[in-house]
A and B are shown apart, each in its own frame.
Chain A
Amino acid sequence: MGKQYLPNLAHKDEMLKEIGFGSIDELFSDVPKEVMHEFNLPEGKSEYDVFLEMNQILDKNKTVLEMPSFLGAGTYFHYVPAHVKYLIERSEFLTAYTPYQAEISQGMLQALFEYQSLIAELVGLEIVNASMYDWGTALGEAALMAARVTKKNKFVVPKHLSPEKKKVLETYVAGAGMEIVYVDWNEKGQLDLEKLKESVENAAGVYIEMPNFFGLIEENIVEVGEIAHDGKALFVVGVDPTILGIVEAPGELGADVVIGEAAFFGNPMNFGGPRAGIFATKNDKKLIRQMPGRIIGMTKDTDGKRAFVMTLQTREQHIRRAKATSNICSNEALVAVAAAIHLASLGPQGLRKLGEIILKNTAYFKRRISEVAELPFDGINFKDVLVQFEVPYDIIHERLLEKNIHGGYYIKPHFPELGESALFAVTETTRKEWIEKLIVALKEIIAEAGL
């Protein structure tokens, strides 16, 4: 099957003859006979059969449209306007590759330059690359870059970091032999500055997130940057960019490097991928030279007309090989373009409004959830809220699911000190009825548990 994609099947013999081969087998005469292998695989099917089969498999998934969900913890249900999907599915974008031939790829190059430009405005830094794989790998790359720039090998991060990012970071720096130091949170669920000061000596970089893993806005972000700089470390800020309509650009708060997740704009959750990591730095040659990833620049053509091209490539693997700043080659270009289209559609008013809606919805959720559970940390939350229960959370989760509600992300396995806690998240997509249903259900479950 699949003959519909293989035009020359119809000309096999004629073509073989034209080039003087007797059979297809002759084309494979260089393959050692003793290891040749016939696939033990099912035969192909018609497009319709596969369409049906894939639909049947997918039908076993229950989406967040079919059951109110309060999951967040690094992936959020945002609504993506319909036009974004139609535009990135234009096959001139979709079926192209990396714009090696700039003259025939101006569309993608300009779209990526605009992505870099939009992110630069958001984060308040001049230099942005055309994407990393995701936020987690951007964190790994930022740690490696900090080590190269400062020639030190310790990287300081909050202990309240998502388990995903922790694991990616640790794997990324293992080869370089870097040490990752985790700094505790304080009673407000924010980075403990005193403990940070103790860890900063000899650090290549200090990392903080806005909002942090508990969904809290870190109030002392500027002070954290100052501590980092006093210790001659790079200040790296990780940001959920959907907050940047209401919270100051990290570049204005002292960040040398900003990373984050671009796919929160313009892309559905897709079970966690694809995504696109933001990577931005100050306009400082020392930093640019050590930056990972592809970068698009503006230049001109021979007629003097504005044109775009991949630039500063001497950092990259195809030229530098073992000495490259990163091994990344294919990136997440189309995800980045989708994010750019969404951002351009939001504009300054939309982005501000989106941030305000999420902030208000989160505040409303906190008020309602505190009717039935404890909130260990007081502060301003954006999307995620840490909620503590007296009833074991696995019971709550199970009972909620029976009532067709998906609760939050149970974090005890990763942070045992927080007890029966889960991160519940809301966004602009969360409906009042969902929260109502959740609170009613939780009241019932807690009453049944006899507490």
Chain B
Amino acid sequence: MYRQAKWDEPLIFELSKPGRVGFSLPDPIEDVEVDIPEKLKRKKLELPELSEPEVVRHYTRLSEMNYGVDSGMYPLGSCTMKYNPKINEEIAGHPKVAFIHPYQDERTVQGALQIMWELEQWLKEITGMDRFTLQPAAGANGEFTGVMIIRAYHLDRGETQRNEMIVPDSAHGTNPASAAMAGFKVIEIPSNEQGMVDLEALENAVSERTAGLMLTNPNTLGIFEEDILEIAKIVHKAGGLLYYDGANLNGILGKVRPGDMGFDVIHVNLHKTFSTPHGGGGPGAGPVGVKDFLKDYLPVPVVEYDEENNRYYLNYDLPKSIGKVKEFYGNFAVLVRALTYLKIMGKSGLKEVSEIAVLNANYLTQKLKGTRGYELPHKELRKHEVVFSAEPMKKETGVKALDVAKRLLDHGLHAPTIYFPLIVHEALMIEPTETVTKEDLDYYVEVLKKISEEAYSNPELVKSAPHNTAVRRVDDVLAAKRPVITWRMYKQLKEKGEIDI
């Protein structure tokens, strides 16, 4: 039976003891007197005071109340929680990565530029695109980059009326949000019964106002859009561009490439397919690739290689560039990890990644299919992930997808992504990835079946889950109704006697 640590760990502020010191700093070069004007002088500064061992214990205990890929199966759909090889960390932690400044003379950072250039070459071949920027800090930042490039392209051609971005209803929330941020009107189109783009709806949606279509393929249901070539034709014929949300390439690596399917712009998440760790929410990286005719719009700078002089350099000379979407060149330490991974996997390894990821997802699909309470809407054949619906269970027992998720935690298993994509009611979006074992898959299915039995025999047990985690079910309604965002707010409420935690 799984048991997560349940420390009653106070806030770091509550551990503070006046006078304790947790730092050691060098002396100033000279004890020069500098006077800050009185009105700008710091008055109050209420930070906690702890020694180093106390700080280390506090965060170690907190880590024990957290669950990562290294703790167990983490099939969070759409997030590709694969094992993050430790060698990535070893290389990314190298002093030659840590101690270089982004404005250093190019001659002193040839290694860094080579890493970026090499990574770009890998990504180009993997996706079938012609040029990449590594600047975006995450998938959404990459989407924004991509749709800004589409915007710049149309404006450059004088097609100022192209202000609509088409997004299927199964799309990740960042797609419409990024398009809106770039100033587009978002046109949502429905999926068909198979879970794929409805061609007729697409035909009806395109017009001379269409800037582009943002598509995920395999889509968020894990289904490959079989009509992709037809979709591309429809959008291109209308004068729009095709944007590929490649947050996750785990289902197609070494099989088919977005560039060959007709996509003009793409982003990929290095913190998914390319094994860089998710860091509890970030940092990631979201490089953007484009076809040749769009390369002038990429953010500055791009990395170039001068073969004659064997020299790498940063090129800022892109007069049509959209500008910058992040300071400097991107999350460099994340790029280092991804290249390390790619060099280890190589051509055959990458192909095996998608073969095993797809095998694992379909294995789980077939093993779980038919279990009481869970329904498998849409097509059966999936790529890297599958979306079940707990709608029947909810109707018949009152146990919701949320409850199933919480009960999984009790078994030391991370929950799937739930309630996404929005087109599946009570969605359970499961993405095992290629790095789990057959036993992991069998156990996950076994637990889901057991939860189904519990739902029908003892629903309260599921509804009151989790029982074995650091805390029991959290009250998120209270959190939103009476926000306590910081220690400062907490203290104010405490003084007024308005809080009892």
Contact = CB atoms under 8 A, between A and B. Distances in A.
A114 B40 CA distance: 26
Nearest to B408: A101
Contacts of B237: none
Contacts of A320: 173, 177
A437 to B, nearest CB: 13
17 contacts: A24-B359, A34-B229, A42-B347, A47-B87, A83-B52, A87-B56, A103-B409, A217-B40, A268-B98, A273-B137, A298-B485, A303-B472, A327-B178, A331-B138, A331-B281, A341-B55, A432-B30
A342 to B, nearest CB: 9
A399 B26 CA distance: 30
A306 B501 CA distance: 5
A97 B22 contact: no
B64 interface: yes
A92 B66 contact: yes
B42 interface: yes
Nearest to B328: A272
A76 B51 CA distance: 26
A395 interface: no
B344 interface: yes
A3 to B, nearest CB: 7
Contact of B256 (A16, A35, A100): A35
B102 A352 contact: no
Contacts of A308: 474
A228 interface: no
B76 interface: yes
B109 A27 contact: no
Interface stretch (B179-187, B201-209, B385-393): B179-187
B152 to A, nearest CB: 9
B322 interface: yes
Given A134-B326, A353-B25, A8 B434 contact: yes
B39 A222 contact: yes
B426 interface: no
Contacts of B125: 39-41
Interface stretch (A122-130, A190-198, A200-208, A231-239): A122-130
**Which of A27, A46, A64 neighbours the largest number of chain B CB atoms within 10 Å of its CB?**
A27
Contact of A102 (B59, B359, B476, B483): B476
A39 B254 contact: yes
Interface string A363-380: 110010000000000001
Contacts of A363: 32, 34
Interface string B460-477: 000010100111111110
B486 A322 contact: no
A2 B352 contact: yes
A120 B487 contact: yes
A110 B67 contact: no
A58 B96 CA distance: 6
Contact of A331 (B91, B261, B282, B486): B282
B254 A92 contact: no
Given A37-B257, A298-B484, A16 B139 contact: no
